[in-house]
Chains A and B, each alone.
Chain A
């Protein structure tokens, strides 16, 4: 049996791109989709990212929501390239790159990565990634995982 590891692999270009997205939308939260594959050992490998709009125009400084219709388009385009949705990213303007209770309550893509970047005074600071573990809503957890920039 292959031992499961908690890791997200991503190329420097994609890593820089989603961090830059957070700088562009500051002081509002940015959001987007990570596409790629999941290896047998559980490693998620990002091969592209897709920016998404934040529909929470009522509170964009501390909330994000991706329109499912946009996600379906991103998913279809990814499928045409042989990619799956493997995670999501968003930013926390002037706030730590740690998941909040809201982040956990609103997370439902088990086995996917949730990447958070702290954007301090307009500049991307720390980026952390968390896997949504568990098998149902009652026992879900966001567990920190290593980001391997390769």
Chain B
């Protein structure tokens, strides 16, 4: 099954797991299955109107899904999906 890597700040909402196996053939399915398994993750990943938060980057293996087919991007057995909140700032 594809695996979703959970970043440090979200593990407390995913049963303290660093990775979660999901049943999915697309990124959308993968994230749906992820929040079905761990409902507390929903508000940290999505806005109230159901969109991925702007600072939440989702990568399929080493590719940003924004440059693929976004949440329609297909996933395969053995794929790694990474959730990566943005890191930025400045004085």
Majority SS at the chain B contact face: mixed
- Among A56, A69, A100, the one with the most B-chain Cβ atoms within 10 Å of its Cβ is A69
User: By the criterion CB–CB under 8 Å, are B62 and A72 in contact?
Assistant: yes
Q: Any chain B CB within 8 A of the CB of A68?
A: yes
Q: Any chain B CB within 8 A of the CB of A46?
A: no
Q: Any chain A CB within 8 A of the CB of B70?
A: no
User: By the criterion CB–CB under 8 Å, are A102 and B90 in contact?
Assistant: yes
Cβ proximity bits B80-91 to A, threshold 8 Å, 1 near / 0 not? 001011111111
Q: Any chain A CB within 8 A of the CB of B17?
A: no
User: By the criterion CB–CB under 8 Å, are A108 and B85 in contact?
Assistant: yes
9 A–B pairs (Cβ distance < 8 Å), ordered by A: A64-B89, A68-B84, A68-B87, A69-B64, A106-B87, A106-B88, A108-B87, A109-B9, A109-B85
User: By the criterion CB–CB under 8 Å, are A65 and B86 in contact?
Assistant: yes
Q: Any chain A CB within 8 A of the CB of B18?
A: yes
Q: Any chain B CB within 8 A of the CB of A71?
A: yes
What residue in chain A is nearest B86 (Cβ atoms)? A108
Task: Identify which of residues 52-91 in chain B touch chain A, using a CB-to-CB cut-off of 8 Å.
Answer: 55, 57, 59, 62, 64, 82, 84-91
User: By the criterion CB–CB under 8 Å, are B59 and A90 in contact?
Assistant: no
Q: Any chain B CB within 8 A of the CB of A75?
A: yes
Q: Any chain B CB within 8 A of the CB of A7?
A: no
Q: Any chain A CB within 8 A of the CB of B38?
A: no
Q: How many residues of chain A get a CB closer than 8 Å to chain B's CBs?
A: 40
| B13: min CB distance to chain A, Å | 9
Please pick, from B59, B85, B88, B91, the residue contacting A72 in the complex, using a CB distance under 8 A.
Answer: B59
User: By the criterion CB–CB under 8 Å, are B59 and A102 in contact?
Assistant: no
| B52: min CB distance to chain A, Å | 13
> Which of chain B's residues have a CB closer than 8 A to the CB of A66?
87-88
* Contact A29 to B90, CB < 8 A, known contacts A68-B57, A84-B18: yes
Measured CA separation A109–B86 after assembly (Å): 8
Please pick, from A84, A88, A136, the residue contacting B43 in the complex, using a CB distance under 8 A.
Answer: A136
Task: Identify which of residues 39-60 in chain B touch chain A, using a CB-to-CB cut-off of 8 Å.
Answer: 43-44, 55, 57, 59
Cβ proximity bits A136-149 to B, threshold 8 Å, 1 near / 0 not? 10000000000000
| A111: min CB distance to chain B, Å | 5
